[in-house]
Structure 1
């Protein structure tokens, strides 16, 4: 795997802020109170993680769709089918209360990493893709777990 280019790395890390913020505001009551007062209650604790997590799974469906356009035939058809799974997962599996939704987001991001690997094996991604996705997914899973289990 090659070194991750600076722009995707910085943008990817910046995209982790709502996950980390959600975990922090779940465990730090003063920070949660400040965030709720300044940003609104939807932007603290598990609420920001769940909403943003659904958005990111949907966004990643679009990324995978873009990778699928690089192939043809049966592989393209399979790529398109696989690419919509994260968005469908987010749509159907993030209801039922914050605990169930968080658990399902954890499963969704773990499954997304497997899909990333499939597209990587098909050589449809940049060579550094899995290095970036492993880093980002690990932090997302830790943040969601901190909000759910700690």
Structure 2
């Protein structure tokens, strides 16, 4: 059982994927007032894209590893689509409830992954660390939105 990816590329790409969260969060907190709203929307848009992308991982796993028509196949496909629906719905809301909905989406998807098979140990560990970073950024954005209101 490999705990660290045999290739460092996934870790570097995952960490690089946190940069737009951090950059838009910083702009939302410390940018000029006209930019703060843009930064918040940029943050939420990027979060929606990433949550949708993570759902796509499960679509690929279902197609590549599970028997079509099986309960596991349907469950994995359902979980593959749900993050995109949650992400899209979050974009239709005001920033504060939208951000909370995205937090719930990231946490629930990670909880689903913990309870399923088919993911390498190194991926699970990476996803846990990245989810922690993403959720922390969301909570800081929520704090900032509350302070800016």
Q: Confirm or deny: 8 A CA contact 1:58 1:86 kept in the other structure.
A: yes
Q: Is the 8 A contact 1:22 1:147 kept in 2?
A: no
Query: Hey, what's the Cα distance between the residues in 1 that align with 2:105 and 2:91?
Result: 10
For residue 22 of structure 1, what is the aligned residue in structure 2? Answer: 24
Which of 95, 98, 106 is the matching residue for 2:95? 98
| Structure 2, unpaired ranges of 5+ | 145-149
Structure 2 match to 1:83:
80
Task: Tell me the C-alpha RMSD between the 2 structures.
Answer: 2.2
Give the match for residue 65 of structure 1: 59
For 1:126 and 1:115, locate their aligned partners in 2 and report how far apart those are by CA, in whole Å: 14
TM-score (norm 2): 0.83
Per-residue CA shift, 1:94-147, capped at 9, x if unaligned?
Answer: 32211111111111111111122233xx2x112211110011001101111101
**Please, what TM-score do these two structures have when normalized by structure 1?**
0.83
Report SS of the residue matched to 1:94. Answer: helix
- For residues 62-111 of structure 1, the C-alpha deviation after alignment (integer angstroms, 9 at most, x for no partner) is 11111112111221111111211111111223322111111111111111
* Residues matched between the structures, number: 139
Residue 141 of structure 1 corresponds to 135
Q: Which runs of 5+ in 1 are unaligned?
A: none
CA deviation map 1:21-46 (0-9, x unaligned): 12211222xxx23xx4xxxx74x2x1
Q: Residues 94 and 105 of structure 1 are in contact (CA less than 8 Å); yes or no, is this contact kept in structure 2? A: no
User: Does 1:109 find its partner at 2:110?
Assistant: no
* Runs of 4+ in structure 1 over 4 Å off: none
- CA distance in 1 between counterparts of 2:133 and 2:113 reads 16
